[in-house]
Copies of this chain bind each other. A is one copy, B any other.
Amino acid sequence: MSPTITAFERSPDRGRGLARDMPVRWAFEEVGRPYDVRLVSFSEMKASAHRALNPFGQIPTYQEGDLSLFESGAIVLHLAQHYSGLLPSDANARARAITWMFAAVSTMEPPIVDLGTAVIIERNESWYEQRLPMVKDRIRHRLRELSAHLGEADWLDGTFSAGDLLMVSVLRRLHASGLLKEYQNLSAYVARGEARPAFRRAFAAQLAVFTAAPTG
């Protein structure tokens, strides 16, 4: 039996692949393993049955037999450790790829999510316009450092890894802001990730949930 993940019944991103089931779907596709999806509504996500799987009431969750996991980063790492295709076989290169996974979710993502929070939740607050440049500059600071590291390379550390998968997933959140375009090599890096056949299959699968959803 395939593992089952959860995803939004109606994703707030309208199928742009920004919900957190996307990196997990992408990881399944990279390692060539089938998976099942159970769609959950916002009220189901906050109910106790779902919180037993994820105490923070979010998607995705991962269930396989009697194993339940949450946190997209942890699920991607679990898949990467069990199937080949997302981590190098050399032990040191493997540890470095895992370092980039943490860098994606712990160093790059927080200021990027902060911008999303500002735009969505603080848009009507009196300070919104005034604070926005500061929020964007925090992102630029990290993008500049990441851009300097990447240079002319295709991927963060040798071949494509779960570190790139999470980093590209995090950077994709910047498409709407235009910030990514300020760093040519990072734009190309994200485009390289999005061009991977596994990414495209995962993207199509999450989009199909949205396009198939009733519009009422």
* A77 CB-CB contact with B under 8 Å: yes
So how many copies of this chain end up in the complex? 2
- Write out the residue numbers on chain B whose beta carbons fall within 8 Å of the beta carbon of A69: 95-96, 99
Interface string of A93-124 (1 = CB under 8 A from B): 00110110111011101100110000001100
* A16 CB-CB contact with B under 8 Å: no
* A88 CB-CB contact with B under 8 Å: no
Q: A57 contacts which of B75, B122, B145 (Cβ < 8 Å)?
A: B145
Contact indicator B99/A74 (Cβ below 8 Å): yes
A contact face: mostly helix, strand, loop, or mixed: helix
- Write out the residue numbers on chain B whose beta carbons fall within 8 Å of the beta carbon of A154: none
- Write out the residue numbers on chain B whose beta carbons fall within 8 Å of the beta carbon of A142: 56
The 7 A-B residue pairs with the shortest CB-CB distance, nearest first, are: A127-B127, A55-B149, A71-B102, A74-B99, A110-B110, A74-B102, A73-B102
